[in-house]
Every structure is written in C-alpha cells, then in structure tokens.
Amino acid sequence: MFSGSFILQIVSETSESKYLGLFNKARQKNETVAGVILLICKEALQHHGISLSMEGVVNLQLSSKSVGVFEAFYNSVKPIQLISSNIEVAKAGKIPGGKTEIPFEFPLHTKGNKVLYETYHGVFVNIQYSLRCDMKRSLLAKDLSRSCEFIVHCQPQKSKVIPTPVNFTITPDTLQSREKNSLPKFLIRGHLDATNCVISLPLTGEVVVENSDVPIKSIELQLVRVETCGCAEGYARDATEIQNIQIAEGDVCHGLAIPIYMIFPRLFTCPTLETTNFKVEFEVNVVVVLHDDHLITENFPLKLCRL
C-alpha cells in the first residue's frame, strides 16, 4: 500500500561492530545470534505475520573451463545447507506507528552431524550465513523482506601451532622451466617464518637477492586460493589470485634482506577447509619479476588456522 513509509530492519545485537559495512564480529559455534527487528513506520500498519529465518549455505560453482569437461557432473553441484531455522516473530495483527523493536535470538545448532564452516567469500566456493525477516501482508500490499549477513568464525583449534620456517633458494637451476638455460644468472634466497599460519597474524619472512645478472624489476607476494569442488565422479580444482602485494620495487640492493609481510584479507580467507564435497586451500607465490619481464615464481602451500 504505502511501502515508502515503512521500514523493517534486523539489528543483530551480537554484531557489536561492523566490518566494512557488511557485518562483523564473528559468531562461534554453539553460540547464539541475537538482535532486534526494528520496524519503523509512519502510521499503524496491518500485517499477516512476521517471520525470521536463519540460513547457512555453501554455494559451489564450477569454473567455465571445467564446465565442458564435467558436464554430467555439473548438475550434481548444488548448494549445501549447513544450518536453517525459522521462527514466527509476530502473529497477524497491527504494528503501531513509530519505532517498534522486536528482540530475537537464534541458537546456532546444526542439522544432524553437519559442521559450521567459517564465513568465506571465494570465486567457486562461498560460505555465507544470513538472517532474513519477512512480513506477510494483505493481497493488495507487497510482502516486505529484509536480510543481513552475519559472520561465523570457528572456535580456535585447541592445538598450538608450532611455526615451521621454510627456507628457499631460487636459481635458474631450481626452476622447472624449459628455458632455464636461456635465463640470466641469479641467486635469490629467503625464508618464510611459517607456512602453517594463524589467519589473524601476518605472513612473514625475508627474501634476499644475493646476486642477479639482470636487474630486478619487482618482487611480489601473490596470495592464491585453491578451490576444489567435486565428489566421487571427479573434481574441479581452480587456483585464483586473492591479492598481490609488492614487497620490492626496482633493482633492490643485493645482499639486503627484504621483509616479506602480508596481512590475510578478511572475508576472502578462512582457515584451510577440507570436506567431502569441496576444499578451500591457500598458497602464496613469491614472484620475482626481472627487468626483461621474466617471471620467477616460487610456490608455497599454506595451511591457515585460527587461534
């Protein structure tokens, strides 16, 4: 009837602060999502019931290059529901004009033996949790609906992570490349302080250009997600870049340790995940660009966890 004057909003109380406007403070398992539904309307409003639903879904998608190969398999990729529940907030009736707050609380209980995964926004795998509030109205007026995402962080793993430094040396000989003989001489050494990383702490290490016949143009850290979707019939594995951080620009001083430092972006990373249907893994590439645009890449699989 007059949807313009009506506002329905869900406020998650437990979301204490916001992260880039999306939401924030992650919920952990066995906790509750609580908040208020905020209704603002200029005058009294007739409705046929207000309901609130919570849903957690893993969306899987195949990359275009995989689709051709696994055409048969394509259909089998359907969203995996992790959690779902629905409650009635208010029976049909009338809301007085002004501001109305209806508090609510959902326990985060999974269906059966399903596990709640951490919120993750990827390319082929998406794990998302949302609240949705619906207001049913008479035939003449449109139903109203509003939803918001909330974030789930896993409970920290009990075991302590013991950092295992990884040393690396890159020379033309260590490269698996056909043209390794045509490459100029160089020796690049370095180490990562750990490859089993805590997701809230930066990835650190050092890289040293010991010598190089050709000037170096740039050294970059490329954070890559490796997403695998599949089942018994087969699987699709795709690696895509999350972010690329330049740690050196120009011909850096030889023999001087350049710090490796990268903060894992929120949302786009989650603890390494391995399930029967999909996997989310992360890798980091140390990319050295030579002056003639030669790329030298050293790959390190990472294992992310939350402490």
Partner 1 sequence: NQRCGLEAALVDFGDYHPLKPIMVTDTKTRRGTRKGSTSSSSSSSSSAPPDPLSSMLDGTDPLSMFAAASASETPDLGRRKREKEEEAVGPDFEPWSLKRGEILARFTTTEKLSINLFMGSDRGKATSQGSAVSEKVRTRLEELDDLEEGSQRELLNLSQQDYANRIEELNQSLKEAWSSDQKVKALKIVIQCSKLLSDTSVIQFYPSKFVLITDILDTFGRLVYDRIWTMCSDPRPLPDNFTVEDVNDTAKETCLNWFYKIASIRELLPRLYVEAAILKCNRFLNKSAIQETLPRLTAMIRGIGDPLVAAYARAYLCRVGMEVAPHLKDSLNRNFFDLLGTFRQISSENVRAQLVLQMVEMPEYLTLYSPAISWILQCIAYRAPESLLTEMMERCKKLGNNALLLNSVMRAFRPEFVAARATDFIGMIKDCDEAGFPKHLLFGSLGRSLASADPPESERLTILNEAWKVITKVRSPQDYINCAEIWVEFTCRHFTKREVNTILADIIKHMTPDRAFEDAYPQLQTVIPVQSVELHFQFLLFSVLQERFLPFLDMFQKDSVRVEVCKSIMEVFIKHQVELTRDPVILNAMLHICKTMHDSVNALTLEDEKRSLALLIIGFIRMVSFGRDFEQQLSFCVEARATFCNLEPVLVQLIHTVNQLAMETRRVMRGNHSRKTAAFVRACAAYSFITIPSLSSIFSRLSLYLLSGQVALANQCLSQADAFLKAAVSILPEVPRSISVEGKLRSSESFLLDFINSFLATLLVIPDHPEHGVLYLVRGLLNMVQDYTWEDNSDAKVRVYISALPLLAAMSQETYLYSIPKVDSNETLYGGDPKFLSEINKLCETLIGQILDHLKTLGRDESTRRQGALAFSLFGVLLAHSDLRNNKLSQLAVNLWNLSHKHGYCETRTSVRTLEFIKHQTQQPDMAHLSDMVQRLTLQSRT
Name residues contacting partner 1, limited to 272-291 (CB under 8 A): 283, 285, 287, 289
Out of 146, 189, 191, 279, point to the residue binding partner 1 (CB under 8 A).
146
For residue 124, list its beta bridge partners: none
Q: Does 171 bind partner 1 (CB under 8 A)?
A: no
Q: Helices marked H in the chain — which ranges?
A: 64-69, 71-74
| Cβ proximity of 10 and 149 under 8 Å | no
Number of C-beta neighbours around residue 166 at 10 A: 14
Tell me which residues in 186-205 interact with partner 1 (CB under 8 A): none
Out of 149, 172, 175, 177, point to the residue binding partner 1 (CB under 8 A).
149
Out of 63, 85, 169, 277, point to the residue binding partner 1 (CB under 8 A).
63
Tell me which residues in 96-115 interact with partner 1 (CB under 8 A): none
> Which range, of 10-18, 46-54, 87-95, 111-119, touches partner 1 by CB under 8 A?
10-18
| Cβ proximity of 296 and 175 under 8 Å | yes
Least distance CB 150 / partner 1 (angstroms):
8
What is residue 176's DSSP assignment? -
Least distance CB 163 / partner 1 (angstroms):
18
Least distance CB 224 / partner 1 (angstroms):
5
Q: Does 180 bind partner 1 (CB under 8 A)?
A: no
Cα(219)–Cα(217) distance, integer angstroms: 7
Least distance CB 146 / partner 1 (angstroms):
7
Out of 21, 75, 112, 140, point to the residue binding partner 1 (CB under 8 A).
21
Q: What is the Cα gyration radius of the chain?
A: 25
* Three-state secondary-structure class, residue 42: coil
Least distance CB 258 / partner 1 (angstroms):
5
At CA 242, angle to CA 14 and CA 108, rounded to 5? 25
Number of residues that bind partner 1 (CB under 8 A): 80
Q: Does 179 bind partner 1 (CB under 8 A)?
A: no
Cα(290)–Cα(110) distance, integer angstroms: 51
Instruction: Give the position of tokens 């309901």.
Output: 51
> Which range, of 9-17, 75-83, 167-175, 186-194, touches partner 1 by CB under 8 A?
9-17
Cα(239)–Cα(174) distance, integer angstroms: 23
Cα(207)–Cα(22) distance, integer angstroms: 36
Least distance CB 132 / partner 1 (angstroms):
8
Q: Does 68 bind partner 1 (CB under 8 A)?
A: no
Out of 89, 148, 187, 307, point to the residue binding partner 1 (CB under 8 A).
148
Number of C-beta neighbours around residue 241 at 10 A: 11
Least distance CB 159 / partner 1 (angstroms):
27
Q: Tell me the backbone φ, ψ of residue 128, rounded to 5 degrees.
A: -140, 140
Joined together, the tokens standing for residue 20 give 């880039």
Out of 85, 147, 177, 277, point to the residue binding partner 1 (CB under 8 A).
147
Please give the full DSSP string across 116-140, using - where no structure is assigned.
Answer: PPPPEE-SSEEEEEEEEEEE---TT
Tell me which residues in 205-264 interact with partner 1 (CB under 8 A): 215-220, 222, 224, 238-253, 256-259, 261-263
Q: Does 292 bind partner 1 (CB under 8 A)?
A: no
Q: Given the complex with partner 1, which of 30 and 244 has the nearer CB atom?
A: 244
